Amino acid sequence: MSNSREIIRSSGTSVEEAKPRLKKPRMYRVLLMNDDYTPMEFVVTILRKIFRLTEEQSVQIMLKVHTEGSGVCGVFTAEVAETRVREVLALAREHQHPLKCTMEPE
């Protein structure tokens, strides 16, 4: 798909406008991992507070991780994904839960 634009002048001649040189940033999935100890309610709170998801979305993702082993919390640019992962790990450590969170390229 081309993102250049054809400009038609009043004289009838046309020129191609330079392509906007904005590259799409690489995107990263942030994943939560299941474990046997982290309370379900804590995982739901993480999803609501850190990923700004609704209660419903948070419960759905938590249950997916619980039953399937892992699940995606969201897709972000590298900086945002790294920050989210760090926030999850910091909060989990603070509450002494073994919750694991990682990121992977889309």
Q: Which residues bind ligand TYC (CB under 6 A)?
A: 32-36, 38-40, 43, 62, 65-66, 99
Q: Which is nearer to ligand TYC, 26 or 102 (CB)?
A: 102
Q: Is 37 left (phi over 0), alpha (psi -120 to 50) or beta?
A: alpha
| Number of CB atoms found within 10 A of residue 52's CB | 10
**3-state class (DSSP) for residue 31:** strand
Query: CB of 77: closest distance to ligand TYC in angstroms?
Result: 23
Query: CB of 27: closest distance to ligand TYC in angstroms?
Result: 21
Query: CB of 5: closest distance to ligand TYC in angstroms?
Result: 46
Query: CB of 95: closest distance to ligand TYC in angstroms?
Result: 12
Q: Which is nearer to ligand TYC, 50 or 99 (CB)?
A: 99
Q: Which is nearer to ligand TYC, 3 or 37 (CB)?
A: 37
Angle between helices 78-94 and 40-49 (to 10 degrees): 140
Whole-angstrom Cα distance, residue 74 to residue 19?
30
